[in-house]
Amino acid sequence: MKKAIIVGASSGIGKEIALSLLKDHYKIGITGRRINNLEEIKKIDPKNIFVSSYDCTKESNAKKLGELAKLMGGLDMLVISSGFGDVNKSLEFSIEDKTNQLNVVAFTETVGWGFNYFSKQNSGHIVAISSIAGIRGNGLAPSYNASKAYQINYLEGLRFKAFRLKKSIDITDVRPGYVDTEILKGNKDKIYWVQSLEKANKQIMRAIYKKKKSVYITKRYNIVAFILRFIPERILKKLF
């Protein structure tokens, strides 16, 4: 039975990935801050679900993940789905700092731990949920877009590193557009092209099993990504 840890599995995309992997006969480890949510998921299959509740911005991710992997008897896949982002019109440092602590600092420790773990066994699959937001800047949420750009480039760097070290580590960068999750905070009616969590998850799982290097979710966001790359700044700054 293959084994996977999903970081940020208490709700949203992380939870859906966890349930899909469980359905496909994976033994899963789930992490998050909301212990009640995690325990509810564990009730589905207590024998094959392992829980570790902690705040990855305040505790050692490497220590917690190492303990969880040992408890599970090994690891084949690490999914990183934790993330934070908020509109910050007044550029309050507390919001920028909170975003960076999770999306940059904790992310780096987590993905680095996964890379080193899989390097030692010369096999493994890292899946990270970044965002289409990482393509360009955003005046309304500067740190969020910047942190996602960091994730995209960091994952690409690790892919290069695995190749250079001749390690059999697959790295999948999942870049969602707008998906109907808690991060939209009830604003989905004001946003165009919001996709259902179910539809997004189906495409994410397909990309994971195909071990794609990167994928936009849903498929229509390939068009958005193409436009964002080439749209002039003089136009983009009026939108964001």
pLDDT in tens, 109-146: 999 999 999 999 999 999 999 999 999 999 999 999 99
Rg (CA), the chain: 17
Identify the segments of the chain with pLDDT beneath 70.
Answer: 182-192
Give yes or no for a contact between 129 and 81, defined as CB atoms under 8 angstroms apart: yes
In this prediction, residue 239 carries a pLDDT of 78
How far apart (Å, rounded) are the C-alpha atoms in residues 77 and 123? 9
In this prediction, residue 236 carries a pLDDT of 85
pTM of the predicted model as reported, rounded to 2 decimal places? 0.93
In this prediction, residue 191 carries a pLDDT of 62
Give yes or no for a contact between 55 and 78, defined as CB atoms under 8 angstroms apart: no
The residues, any chain, with a CB within 8 Å of residue 146's CB and separated by 6 or more, are 137
**What are the tens digits of pLDDT across the range 159-178?**
999 999 999 999 999 999 99
Q: What CA dihedral angle connects 66, 43, 26 and 11, to 10 degrees?
A: -70
In this prediction, residue 240 carries a pLDDT of 75
Task: Walk me through the domains of the chain, giving residue ranges and CATH numbers.
Answer: 3-239 (3.40.50.720)
